[in-house]
Structure 1
Amino acid sequence: MTTYRIGVLYGDGIGPEITRATLEVLKAAVEQTGGADFDYVELPMGWEGIEKYNNPIPQVTIDALQETHGWIMGPHDSASYPKVHQANRNPSGELRHCFDLFANVRPAKTIKGIKSVVGEADLVIYRENTEGFYSDRNMHVGTGEWQITPDIVVSTGVFTRKAAERIAHAAFQMAMQRRKKITIVHKANVIKLGMGLFLNVCRQIGEQYPEVQVDDFHIDAMTAHLVRRAHFFDVIVTENMFGDILSDLAGELVGSLGLAPSINTNENQAMAQAAHGSAPDIAGKNIANPIGMMLSTVMFLEWLASRHGDGNLIQVARMMEHGIFTTVAEGVKTRDLGGSASTTAFTAAVAAHIAR
């Protein structure tokens, strides 16, 4: 049996609460299935890193993560950090940049017991994670913004064939496992060279997957299409900023951003990270919704299983997922979803379902 070395970064705000809840459910599923072994490595990030090392993502954490199969990362509250740290990439952006986590994968699926704005939907967004208009991570050194005068700022968007090719391959490979349909989202009618390159490369990669149906939409039209007919879409592939916006929209449309999971991957490692923020206003109140973090960890296990050919990890993932969905379907929900359960009560209910 392989022992998987997993980093655990608790983060800020509600991060420690929802990460501990996720670990409780994960350990319950591992105990029930008996088919997987994990070595958890707790590492400082966020305010913990600042207090211990004067750095929200200290080098000791980065070095330790190099030796892991991946990690579970709670949200960070970078807006509250001292100004000297706000000037740098936030912890999530730094890890995506440092480890070249080029694919940000964010599903949006309706869940029984959760009211959806758009009815039934089951889609997944593949967001290119390293360049585009995100100027804090689209340069090898420095950032892609320059203040020419106090009144003039130039911000760059970077688009490369390499980045478009690898996110396209990842998206098409997922489409082959699903309904064999890809939608490319862009703005090539205005940003003709940069997004034109992204669109054309994605279409070229699509020729290698003849079974997959391909269409494309401009970003402004796509937001309307998601609201009107989210059920129509299967796999969406897009650049960094558009992927960020569309995934938040899709998460809310199917129920709540608090439910929205994601993973960030390269070829060898993955980071489980819920799509929502640190919600400092409710931190420590035991009312945070841990589902997004839990489902992100399910995705992480699925990725590990695929990467290492380990069916035991799939069993653990299915056990966690079943426990979460059964608990919600029975009406046990946190306050943001219209229920009354605390974070710990919801977690205990999920763990109890797994134990049964």
Structure 2
Amino acid sequence: MYKLAILKGDKESSSVIDRALGIIKSSVNDSTAFEVTELPFGVNGVLSFNEPLPNQTLRELKNYDGILVGALNQEVGTDSLLSVQESLVALRKYLNITLACKAVQISDNNVDASPLKNQIVRDTDFIIVQSAKRANDHVDGNISVDDFAQDTITYEQREVEQVITAGFERAMNRKRAVTVVTPFDSFYTSKIWALTAEKIAKIYPDVVVNYVSLSCVISTIIQQPTSLDVVVAPKWVDQVLNEESQKITGLPETVPVSMKNNSGQMLYQLPQINVDDKNLMMAVGEDTAKLILKECFKHYDNLQKIGV
């Protein structure tokens, strides 16, 4: 039994999630293998407990294999303790999410939306694997005076190993190619990152590994995005890669971010889309369903029916 918790968020994300659940349920023949439970969150959380992220919901989440959280595109309670953005951050911290994977896909249906030429971006399909913890979460100390500023950021060896291993595991189920971003050769943190990647690469001899600088991978995203498969990036540069990758699609973000903690729980977070395009909203639901089915129900043969 795979147990999925649903946190619907606002009205727009509710329709997206309903679309995703409809596809998932129609694709999983065995009803005893899949259980869905909706928990108070967002608008429903405020109505029930006057909080967008109630403590009652947090306590329940430990009982689920996966969590699908909807977007919160506006404030949902003026007197709640947490704002919308704080609720999403608090959710990730409570679950102790360590890994995040973001897909960058351009299909035949949306290739014309890209600002790049069709022949460059057509069939683009790669993912960025990174730490779910932001760089700011690891700042040990800040110093700021009139003419001087300093931040000290720490890398944890375990965190580096988790991110890079997750990248190689993803690659084994894709085109078996990993691009390791090494941003600053002279920094000790970058050396640890590269040395750890070299050690883990030996465990995956069937995966082709390419070590590149940050500027090089950005150039590849713009000039040859179809050559990328899995990109693993340290937390100093992951936001830069996310922004550059989103630019080449020419579309609002439509693929949810998938995240994971050390207990194996998956968190799927819908993108925030402020549009009234029903077709686009339904496309988000379809992408969400495909992502969950790929990661949770690989043994079902009928997934091919929806192009998974």
**TM class by shorter-chain length?**
0.7 to 0.9
Q: Which residue of 1 aligns with 2:221?
A: 226
Superposition RMSD in Å: 3.2
Q: CA deviation at 1:65?
A: 1.1
Alignment partner of 1:237 is 2:232:
yes
Q: Structure 2 residue aligned with 1:195, among 190, 195, 199?
A: 190
Partners of 1:26 and 1:123 in 2: how far apart?
23
Residues 102 and 265 in structure 1, CA contact (< 8 A), matched pair in contact too = yes
Give the 3 Å change call, closer, same or farther, for CA 180–27 of structure 1 in structure 2: closer
Correspondence for 2:166? 170
Of Structure 1 and Structure 2, the greater strand share is in 2
- Pair 1:213–1:159, CA change in 2 (3 A): same
Identify if the C-alpha distance between structure 1 residues 52 and 296 changes in structure 2 by more than 3 Å, giving closer, same or farther.
Answer: same
**Which residue does 1:337 correspond to in 2?**
none
Query: Does the residue aligned with 1:90 lie in a helix, a strand or coil?
Result: helix
Compared CA separation, residues 73 and 154, structure 1 to 2 (3 A): farther
Whole-angstrom CA distance in 2 between matches of 1:5 and 1:61: 15
Match of 1:85 among 61, 82, 85: 82
Letter in 2 for 1:197: I
**CA, structure 1 residues 41+184, in 2 after alignment: closer, same or farther (shift >3 Å)?**
same
The normalised TM-score by structure 1 is 0.72
Q: Which residue of 2 aligns with 1:210?
A: 205
Q: How far off its partner does 1:12 sit? A: 2.9
Which one of the candidate residues 296, 300, 303 is aligned to 2:288? 296
Q: How far apart are the structure 2 equivalents of 1:304 and 1:194?
A: 34
What is residue 53 of structure 2 aligned with on the other side?
57
8 Å Cα contact 1:44-1:58 kept in structure 2: yes
State percent identity of aligned pairs: 17
Within the alignment, does 1:71 sit opposite 2:74 as a pair? Answer: no
- Partner letter of residue 8 of structure 1? I
Unaligned runs of 5+ in 2: none
The structure-2 alpha-carbon separation of the partners of 1:199 and 1:108, relative to structure 1 and needing over 3 Å to count, comes to same
The equivalent residue for 2:123 is 120
Which residue type is aligned with residue 162 of structure 1? R
> Is there any run of 5+ residues in structure 1 with no aligned partner, and where?
323-356
2:6 maps to which of 5, 8, 11: 8
Deviation at residue 79 of structure 1 after TM alignment: 6.9
Task: Give the partner amino acid of 2:82.
Answer: H
Q: In structure 2, do the counterparts of structure 1 residues 35 and 254 end up closer, same or farther at CA, with 3 Å as the change threshold?
A: farther
Matched length: 299
Which amino acid in the other structure matches residue 298 of structure 1?
K
- The alignment partner of 1:126 has SS state of strand
